[in-house]
């Protein structure tokens, strides 16, 4: 994450949290946790709305956490009918329709495409969500959908997919990670540095995550589980100009996991990579291997 890409609202939040950190580390940790559990709202573009009209739409209930059986209603979308199902996972603050070009290419290639609005996103229920919840939802969705040909995740959706395949009792033949982070702890540490939040806040934040989500932040690091992703084949696509996910970290991850097929491009950034023709064609070729 680079300072120059921070919107004004985050710059204000950074200022407040940096000032509160030393005298009130517990309060700062709670404020940080709430802020990073609340995804930004967005309005769909006309092209996204047009694609939405072509989808089969359904609502389905999922339990919120392994320790919380309360139903959470999510909206699912699908295109095509095939024995080969592809599950798409959007990123934080994203939308399934960010995959617009990928959806069209996959459907044209004869796949059935399935995706959904993540909790607290789009038309799905919830105001706050987090990676722990996303992992629990994905596990249920994979069990509900049945065998899939591949999972394709963008940004946090890619990290979610990989961590779910590490920590949950599910597996897939193929996993594609596009512009995906590889470590939640590294992301939080970098954000702390960027916001100038004192380090004494971090143990408080880890305690909140353990208490509220019953999970360990340090376990959300793919470097700790380099050979435990339960996917037959893995592809990673990333851009050298990505200002949200450092390509040095992705390169290091790929180097430590030689079985991964990697694609590095230059010039698209974190979001435009989703419609890059080279990326889409490479993903299609990977799915047929």
Say whether pLDDT at 7 is over 90: no
- Dist CA 92 CA 241 (whole Å): 19
Note the residue count of the chain: 289
CB 175 within 8 A of CB 235: yes
- Dist CA 173 CA 187 (whole Å): 28
Residue 257 CB burial class (10 angstroms; 0-12, 13-18, ≥19): middle
> Which CATH architecture describes the domain 36-183+220-287?
3-Layer(aba) Sandwich (3.40)
Scanning the structure block, which residue is given the tokens 């992301």?
Answer: 187
**Phi and psi, residue 94, nearest 5°:** -95, -170
Reported as a single tens digit per residue, the pLDDT across 20-52 is 999 999 999 999 999 999 999 999 999 999 999
Helices (H), the chain: 8-20, 25-35, 46-53, 100-108, 131-145, 156-167, 184-195, 201-213, 247-256, 269-272, 277-287
Query: Rounded to two decimals, what is the model's pTM?
Result: 0.96
Reported as a single tens digit per residue, the pLDDT across 196-251 is 999 999 999 999 999 999 999 999 999 999 899 999 999 999 999 998 998 899 99
Residue 258: predicted pLDDT? 87
Count CA atoms closer than 13 A to 166's CA, side-chain side: 19
Count CA atoms closer than 13 A to 17's CA, side-chain side: 29
Percent of the chain with pLDDT over 90: 92
- Dist CA 203 CA 190 (whole Å): 15
Closest CA to 166 of 200, 190, 138, 195: 138
CB 220 within 8 A of CB 213: no
CB 131 within 8 A of CB 157: no
């Amino acid at each position: 994450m680079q300072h120059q890409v921070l919107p004004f609202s985050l710059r204000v939040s950074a200022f407040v949290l940096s000032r509160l950190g030393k005298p009130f580390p517990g309060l700062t940790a709670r404020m940080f946790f709430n802020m990073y559990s609340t995804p930004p709202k967005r309005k769909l573009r006309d092209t996204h709305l047009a694609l939405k009209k072509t989808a089969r739409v359904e609502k389905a209930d999922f339990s919120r956490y392994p320790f919380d059986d309360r139903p959470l209603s999510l909206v699912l979308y699908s295109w095509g009918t095939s024995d080969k199902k592809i599950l798409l996972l959007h990123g934080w603050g994203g939308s399934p329709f960010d995959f617009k070009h990928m959806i069209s290419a996959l459907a044209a290639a004869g796949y059935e495409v399935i995706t959904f609005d993540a909790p607290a996103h789009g038309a799905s229920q919830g105001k706050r969500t987090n990676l722990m919840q996303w992992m629990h939802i994905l596990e249920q969705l994979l069990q509900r959908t049945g065998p899939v040909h591949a999972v394709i995740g963008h940004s946090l959706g890619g990290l979610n997919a990989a961590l779910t395949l590490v920590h949950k009792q599910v597996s897939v033949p193929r996993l594609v990670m596009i512009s995906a982070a590889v470590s939640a702890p590294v992301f939080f540490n970098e954000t702390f540095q960027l916001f100038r939040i004192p380090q004494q806040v971090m143990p408080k934040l880890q305690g909140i995550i353990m208490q509220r989500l019953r999970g360990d932040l340090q376990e959300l690091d793919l470097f700790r589980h380099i050979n435990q992703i339960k996917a037959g084949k893995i592809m990673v696509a990333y851009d050298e100009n990505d200002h949200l996910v450092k390509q040095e970290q992705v390169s290091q991850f790929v180097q430590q996991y030689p079985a991964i097929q990697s694609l590095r491009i230059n010039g698209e950034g974190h979001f435009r990579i989703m419609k890059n023709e080279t990326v889409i064609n490479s993903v299609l070729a990977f799915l047929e291997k």
